[in-house]
Amino acid sequence: MTDIPSGITSGTTPGNAGQTLPWQHARWQEMLAWRASGRLPHALLLCGMRGVGKQHFAATFAQALLCVQPASDGQACQVCRSCLLLRAGTHPDYQQITPVEEGKSILIDQIRELNASLAFKSHAGGYKIAALWPADRMNTAAANALLKTLEEPSAHTLLMLITSRPAALPATVRSRCQRINFTLPPADLALPWLRERLGATHDAAQLLALAGGAPLKAIALAHNGMPLHRTALLDDLDGLQRGLADPVARAAAWVEWGAADCVEWLFGYIVDMIRLKSAAHPPRLKNRDLDVQLQRICKRTELSVLYRHLERTQDALRLLSTQVNAQSLLEDALIGWAVDNAAASSQPA
């Protein structure tokens, strides 16, 4: 398996950010122009679906702002003292604020400490930068505390709030940031980049399609083994439908595979089954390579049941971005699927 550079993972920091991604060049030039003209906002809200490179862009831009001798294209030199400090994770003018525990909130004490540190002058005489990821995980008290810095920023301070769910942020926070939208890249840019990093051991085009066009999400899918679980997820739905699987045990397995990814797959499967149920030859299926298995399951499932589970799965996707217990959420979803399909247990596979 080809190694994936750390700078394109979900844990991107300025120390390993590297270069801007090919589909971000126009946005990069816009940011450089803002900086050159002295119009760089003090707060940016970087928005876009998971896997398009928001965090990578923020890390790359932070590194460039703090670099002592950036290149002609604005990229960080990677060798000056500032770049080396960032690489070591010890630059005094950069902070990254994330939940203390996975799935938890960004707390008010974290924001109070951030506010206090940003009130002082920078150590290097340049920018002081803070990145909050995911910004939508700030609890209400933390978001309110951040307003002080957003309303009265000190000179040469840059806050970058990164989120896939901007609507989950309070309007008072959103209105005080310059919103930057990151859209899905065109396939002619994403696919060559993806193939270069994945090598011949993966079907880059299929992974990109399964990731909804998000290249970094496609890389994550390749490396967390999710494509290998696709048929297993369908087998679970089939087994639950026929009373041959335990929903609690299968929910535990799904949590191990990644609850959010599994629910996204489930959502895609249900959408495809609705399409198959509604038309003999639907023009578009996200999981066309699995249409035989999907056909087998949806033939035993009423359309009304599929729509009911589509709504439940949408709710599950929304709730998984909160502090809900993923195991319990998946148990509810799979028990619901088993119960609603109980009549299918007497039908042939």
pLDDT at 39: 94
Q: What angle do CA 68, 45, 24 make, to 5 degrees?
A: 60
For the stretch 264-301, pLDDT in tens is: 899 999 999 999 999 878 878 888 889 999 999 999 99
**Contact present, 330 and 246 (Cβ < 8 Å):** no
pLDDT at 125: 85
pLDDT at 273: 96
Which tokens hold the place of 138? Answer: 């700030």
pLDDT confidence tier of residue 345, bands split at 50, 70 and 90: very low
pLDDT confidence tier of residue 306, bands split at 50, 70 and 90: very high
d(CA 118, CA 129): 8
Nearest to 342 by CA among 242, 250, 266: 242
Task: Please tell me what DSSP assigns to residue 13.
Answer: -
Residue 18 scores a pLDDT above 90: no
For the stretch 39-71, pLDDT in tens is: 999 999 999 999 999 999 999 999 999 999 999
In a 13 Å sphere around the CA of 270, the CA atoms on its Cβ side amount to 23
Residue 347 scores a pLDDT above 70: no
Backbone φ and ψ for 138, nearest 5 degrees, come out as -65, 130
Task: Pick the more confident residue, 100 or 10.
Answer: 100
pLDDT at 75: 93
Task: Pick the more confident residue, 196 or 344.
Answer: 196
pLDDT at 117: 94
Q: Quote the mean pLDDT of the chain.
A: 89
Bridge partner list, 130:
95, 159
Which tokens hold the place of 99? Answer: 């939940």
Taking the CA atoms of residue 262, residue 209, residue 191 and residue 55 in that order, the dihedral angle to the nearest 10 degrees is: -40
pLDDT at 46: 98
In the sheet where 128-132 sits, what is the strand order?
A: 94-97, 128-132, 157-163, 43-47, 178-181
Domains of the chain are 6-183 (3.40.50.300), 224-346 (1.20.272)
- Give me the mean pLDDT over the 204-227 stretch: 87
